[in-house]
Amino acid sequence: MTQNLSHAHANAAAFFQVEYLEQKDIPSALSLIERIRTSGTLQQNYHLKPRTADELIQLLKDGYPLLGIKNEEGELAAFTSISPLDGDDNSFILRSLCTSPDSKGQGFAKKLLTAALNWMNQNGGGNLTARVAQNNTDSLAIFLKSGFHQADLLWDDKEKYMVCIMAQQCPNHAESIPVPDYYQRML
């Protein structure tokens, strides 16, 4: 799936001001996530899960992108990552889609979603999904405006909330890919 990764990264990064982050950017990504989690801007703290450096480093080593947008000062203002779903070479999950509170309203989340879909198209297509809390109306609106649909609604037994599985099939991947039933394990 990631055989043309360098070419795909270059092409996808050309969209807007999205950058493919490197290992040296991981502390900034983790800092952004923590800043948002403690800013008081989230409706619920579970709307943005914490991530670890080891997790993000492993994604890079495995050839999966960490996407970011930097502000005028060169600081990371928006972030997301793409991970494979267990046991399915054509399905991926978008994790930690987030924008700094002072950068909201600039369309950064939509730009990251566009770059993620472009990366998938460059790497053979597939199904891109995201877990979004049902009461996270801002995030749900962004996904819906970006062409995603609600593929499923699940109960997160650990965190005790309803999760919408948002999905979009890449345009160059014509066959229908069913939504896997193992989302219950994905957090």
Range of the domain at 146: 5-171
Average pLDDT, stretch 111-129? 88
- Give residue-wise pLDDT tens across range 51-77: 999 999 999 999 899 999 998 888 999
Is residue 176 situated within a structural domain? Answer: no
Is residue 179 situated within a structural domain? Answer: no
Is residue 21 situated within a structural domain? Answer: yes
- Considering the entire predicted model, what is its pTM? 0.80
Is residue 181 situated within a structural domain? Answer: no
- CATH number at 137 reads 3.40.630.30
Average pLDDT, stretch 6-28? 72
Is residue 114 situated within a structural domain? Answer: yes
pLDDT for position 171: 67
> DSSP letters of the chain?
--TTHHHHHHHHHTSTTEEE--GGGHHHHHHHHHHHHTTT-SSSGGGS----HHHHHHHHHTT--EEEEE-TTS-EEEEEEEEEETTEEEEEEEEEEEE-GGGTTSSHHHHHHHHHHHHHHHTT--EEEEEEETT-HHHHHHHHHTT-EEEEEEEETTTTEEEEEEEEE-TT--S--PPPSGGGG--
How many folded domains does the chain comprise? 1
pLDDT bracket for residue 42 (50, 70, 90): confident
Is residue 99 situated within a structural domain? Answer: yes
Is residue 35 situated within a structural domain? Answer: yes
